[in-house]
A = this chain, B = another copy of it.
Amino acid sequence: MSSLVVGSIALDTVETPYGRVEEALGGTAVYFSIAASVFTDVKIVGVVGHDFPDGHVTALERRGCDLEGLQRQEGRTFRWVGSYDENMNVAHTLDTQLNVFESFRPELPLSYRRSRTLFLGNIDPELQLDVLEQTSAPTITALDTMNFWIERKREALEEVVRRVDVVLVNEEEARQFAGVYHIAEAARRIRAYGPHSVVIKRGEYGAVMFTDDCYFALPAFPSDEVRDTTGAGDSFAGGFLGYLDTVDTIDSRELRCALAFGTVMASFTVENFSILGLQEAILPQIESRYEALRELTAIEPARVRLAAVQKGA
């Protein structure tokens, strides 16, 4: 079993009301890998420049990540500069330098091609297709995307959506792609392309999932302090797919557990800058937050409760 991720590897400069980091380790593939590596082996496909610090490579190796698919190109590593105000749901991009990421062409080593789960991070949908072509029938494939691709590469994106099992996007992306505001209707339209499940991330409002036979909703884990939400969605994806990689049969029950593990992994990420919160999370803490999440959403049966009700309608 292993989980394959393709996506950005970045040096992030981020400022929030709680502090600032400069050129810290970030990017989709990084957050995904650190979260998923709690559950399973992770194989990374990505690109870095000649300036990518060795320490960051070591950080990924320590998680047991397979870096055979990590390309090191001449040029500078992808950089993102952003800030958040108190409303941590919205990132303000101040600067994006694609650098080596601009000409990135994912190439899967032979040993990667039989991975059981595949996460197509937010990159050009043509590259996502290319990665799909290089794999041999993963049990579950998921994609993320963004407004840029929805607007400019609609056709290629639709083709990837047709071919994945799970679309895992934020609320605005789901609405934009589906062309409708009502979120259940947006999910219905996305599922009509083919995916059996649509997972919609809502930041501090948690996540909802629409799948063949159920709708499922989870609040975000109530972190005491939210310092930096960068990478929350990718950590969510890592928990979600990393967990599913360990499961024999993927059904709606397991998809729910996966959604909860995604929620838990994202909660560690937002509590500190860069990967600091996430990489410190150990299994007992993860399990304990999972249990807390169950508890804070549990309701007593209605039959018991309504027995006390004196009046009918």
Question: Measuring CB to CB, which residues of chain A are less than 8 angstroms from any residue of chain B?
Answer: 1, 37-41, 64, 86-87, 181-184, 202, 204-206, 208, 214-219, 222, 224-226, 243, 246-248, 253-254, 256-257, 260, 281-283, 286-287, 290-291, 293-303, 305-306, 308-313
Contacts and interface: CB of A to CB of B under 8 A. Distances in A.
A291 B300 CA distance: 9
30 contacts: A37-B313, A38-B313, A40-B310, A41-B311, A64-B311, A86-B181, A182-B226, A214-B295, A214-B296, A215-B222, A217-B297, A218-B219, A218-B297, A219-B219, A246-B309, A246-B310, A247-B308, A248-B308, A256-B298, A257-B299, A257-B300, A257-B302, A260-B302, A282-B312, A290-B302, A290-B305, A291-B302, A293-B299, A294-B299, A297-B298
Nearest to A293: B299
A311 B205 contact: no
A298 B296 contact: no
A86 B176 CA distance: 13
A183 B204 contact: yes
A269 B294 CA distance: 28
- Nearest 10 CB-CB pairs, A to B? A217-B219, A86-B181, A290-B302, A205-B205, A297-B297, A282-B313, A294-B299, A257-B305, A260-B299, A283-B313
A291 B302 CA distance: 6
Contact of A302 (B181, B217, B253, B287): B287
B301 A298 contact: no
A248 B308 CA distance: 9
A313 B257 contact: no
Contacts of A299: 218, 256-257, 260, 290, 293-294, 297
Contacts of A37: 311, 313
Contacts of A1: 310
Given A182-B225, A282-B313, 20 more contacts: A38-B313, A39-B309, A40-B311, A41-B311, A184-B222, A206-B217, A208-B219, A216-B297, A219-B219, A243-B309, A248-B308, A254-B305, A257-B300, A257-B305, A260-B302, A281-B313, A286-B313, A291-B301, A294-B299, A298-B298
